[in-house]
């Protein structure tokens, strides 16, 4: 009797859920699982393609055309000039994800469902960091990594890069979905205690954008350059004034920038293909590994160094075209899309977090959801609202 009542309650609850919401939850579960077991990403990609509808218009055809041009140029350099496989895949991943999401129509209920597993992952990651702070080890007994410039919290994946990416994804999703500030505050708290330059770059970037949020897309592009330049200046000054020691993260970061610029100056247009591909984090960081692997600590410098100026220009134009397309197609409120556009370029100049699968897909997903309006709590579509106003 009680079992029947319980099962009926469960079925009644499931019937109240929107089909696209359930689909989003399932997609989110596949995606989170894919972060741990990479083969699940294949199933996620298939489900995402089936669960979303195609967007067919002239702008989409142009987007696909631009992507094919970039893919062709990168592939030719990869095959004929010997650029190594890892660099090839890293450069293509964000472009593939952006193109994929921009050719699909994203439903709000699907995004809300997708948010649930991501938030659960964030909660676990947050508890891992909290345990490390309070007890000196995380929930499975791992001790945090240490550097000359301090302790680095690693979250569930054991690395600050991934923990920061999870927090950034939750922060962006909570802003987009207009969730409670509860999500926002805990994400920002995770930013503060991670102890990495990237976390403070993002915090400074968020604050700066908020001040200038009503400006144009072009202004936000140059704002991202300004924030990146200030970050570089602050990093150099921390070394000059003695706040960062020799052997610290900032020490090797500035060395990587200088080495990249020196190599770019002699391979300005076509890039350089002399680097080896078997670098991994277990090798440790040193001047030798930076030079041999072509590490630059900046996606922009990486693209320029490994692929040349032409690829950098095409990539910037591609992302700018997507930004203009999204903003022109958005009903009334455009500041969120300017924010995503700004974050993409800030990350491109100085950070590199979008190379992470979770944050990269989240940014692309929200950037391509421009047909969802923001002017009321029901999130009516751009076309529906447009028809009402005409």
How many helices (H) and strands (E) the chain has is answered by 17, 4
Per mean pLDDT, which range of 49-58, 97-106, 187-196, 235-244 is the poorest? 235-244
Q: Is the pLDDT of residue 13 over 70?
A: no
In a domain, 16, yes or no: no
Q: Are residues 40 and 174 in the same domain?
A: no
Q: Which of 51, 72, 96 is the last residue of a domain?
A: 51
Please give the tally of structural domains in the chain. Answer: 2
Q: How far apart are CA 160 and CA 200, in angstroms?
A: 13
pLDDT (mean) for 358-377: 69
Q: Are residues 27 and 143 in the same domain?
A: no
pLDDT score, position 144: 74
Q: Which residues pair with 182 in a beta bridge?
A: none
From its phi and psi, is residue 56 left (phi > 0), alpha (psi between -120 and 50) or beta?
beta
Q: Are residues 43 and 100 in the same domain?
A: no
pLDDT tens by residue, 214-233: 777 788 888 888 888 888 88
pLDDT score, position 261: 87
Q: Is the pLDDT of residue 193 over 60?
A: yes
pLDDT tens by residue, 272-324: 766 655 555 555 667 777 777 777 888 888 888 887 888 888 888 888 887 77
Q: Are residues 154 and 40 in the same domain?
A: no
In a domain, 384, yes or no: no
Q: Is the pLDDT of residue 348 over 70?
A: yes
Q: Are residues 58 and 30 in the same domain?
A: no
In a domain, 302, yes or no: yes
pLDDT score, position 33: 93
Nearest to 318 by CA among 361, 364, 350: 364
Which residue segment(s) compose the domain that 42 sits in? 22-51
Q: Are residues 90 and 30 in the same domain?
A: no
Q: Are residues 182 and 33 in the same domain?
A: no
In a domain, 387, yes or no: no
Q: Is the pLDDT of residue 331 over 60?
A: no
In whole numbers, what is the pLDDT of the chain averaged over residues? 76
Q: Which residue has the higher pLDDT, 310 or 335?
A: 310
Q: Which residue has the higher pLDDT, 320 or 148?
A: 320
Q: Are residues 146 and 277 in the same domain?
A: yes
Q: Which residue has the higher pLDDT, 352 or 127?
A: 127
In a domain, 9, yes or no: no
pTM of the model: 0.80
Averaging pLDDT over each range in 73-77, 189-193, 268-272, which range is the top one?
A: 189-193
pLDDT (mean) for 373-382: 38
Tell the burial category of 211 from Cβ atoms under 10 Å away from its Cβ (0-12, 13-18, 19+). Answer: exposed
Q: Which residue has the higher pLDDT, 255 or 378?
A: 255
Q: Are residues 56 and 45 in the same domain?
A: no
In a domain, 198, yes or no: yes
pLDDT score, position 330: 59
The strand pair at 104-105 and 150-152 is best described as: unpaired
Q: Is the pLDDT of residue 119 over 60?
A: yes
Q: Is the pLDDT of residue 251 over 50?
A: yes
**What DSSP string runs through 138-199?**
-TTSPPPEEETTEEE--GGGT-HHHHHHHHHHHHHHHHHHT--HHHHHHHHHHHHHH--HHH
pLDDT tens by residue, 67-117: 888 778 777 766 665 555 555 666 677 778 888 888 888 888 888 899 899
Q: Are residues 153 and 273 in the same domain?
A: yes
Q: Are residues 41 and 57 in the same domain?
A: no
Number of residues that make up the chain: 390
Q: Are residues 174 and 158 in the same domain?
A: yes
Per mean pLDDT, which range of 81-90, 119-128, 324-333, 372-381 is the poorest? 372-381
In a domain, 378, yes or no: no
Structure letter (DSSP) for residue 252: H
pLDDT score, position 382: 33
> Which pLDDT band, with edges at 50, 70 and 90, does 247 fall under?
low
In a domain, 17, yes or no: no
């Amino acid at each position: 009797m009680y079992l029947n009542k319980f099962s009926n309650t469960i079925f009644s609850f499931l019937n109240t859920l929107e089909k696209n919401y359930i689909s989003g939850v399932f997609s989110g579960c596949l995606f989170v699982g894919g972060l741990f077991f990479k083969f699940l990403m294949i199933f996620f990609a298939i489900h995402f393609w089936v669960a979303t509808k195609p967007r067919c218009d002239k702008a989409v055809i142009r987007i696909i055309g631009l992507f094919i041009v970039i893919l062709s140029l990168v592939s030719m350099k990869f095959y004929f000039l010997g650029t190594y496989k890892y660099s090839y895949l890293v450069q293509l991943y964000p472009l593939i994800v952006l193109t994929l999401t921009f050719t699909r129509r994203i439903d709000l209920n699907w995004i809300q469902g997708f948010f649930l597993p991501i938030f659960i992952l964030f909660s676990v990651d947050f508890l891992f960091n909290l345990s490390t702070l309070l007890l000196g080890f995380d929930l499975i007994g791992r001790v945090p990594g240490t550097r000359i410039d301090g302790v680095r919290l690693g979250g569930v994946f054991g690395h600050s890069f991934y923990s920061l990416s999870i927090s950034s994804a939750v922060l962006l999703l909570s802003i987009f979905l207009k969730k409670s500030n509860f999500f926002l505050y805990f994400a920002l708290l995770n930013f503060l205690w991670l102890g990495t330059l990237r976390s403070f770059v993002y915090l400074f970037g968020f604050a700066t954008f908020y001040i200038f949020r009503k400006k144009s897309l072009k202004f936000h592009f140059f704002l991202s350059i300004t924030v990146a330049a200030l970050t570089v200046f602050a990093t150099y000054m921390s070394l000059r004034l003695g706040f960062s020691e020799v052997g610290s993260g900032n020490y090797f970061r500035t060395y990587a920038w200088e080495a990249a610029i020196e190599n770019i100056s002699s391979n300005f247009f076509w890039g350089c293909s002399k680097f080896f591909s078997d670098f991994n984090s277990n090798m440790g960081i040193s001047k030798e590994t930076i030079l041999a692997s072509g590490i630059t600590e900046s996606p922009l410098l990486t693209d320029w160094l490994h692929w040349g100026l032409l690829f950098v220009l095409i990539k910037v134009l591609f992302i700018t075209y997507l930004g203009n397309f999204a903003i022109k197609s958005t009903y009334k409120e455009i500041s969120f899309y300017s924010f995503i556009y700004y974050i993409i370029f800030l990350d491109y100049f100085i950070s590199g977090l979008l190379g992470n699968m979770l944050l990269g897909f989240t940014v692309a997903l929200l950037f391509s959801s421009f047909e969802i309006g923001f002017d009321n709590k029901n999130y009516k579509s751009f076309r529906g609202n447009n028809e009402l106003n005409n």
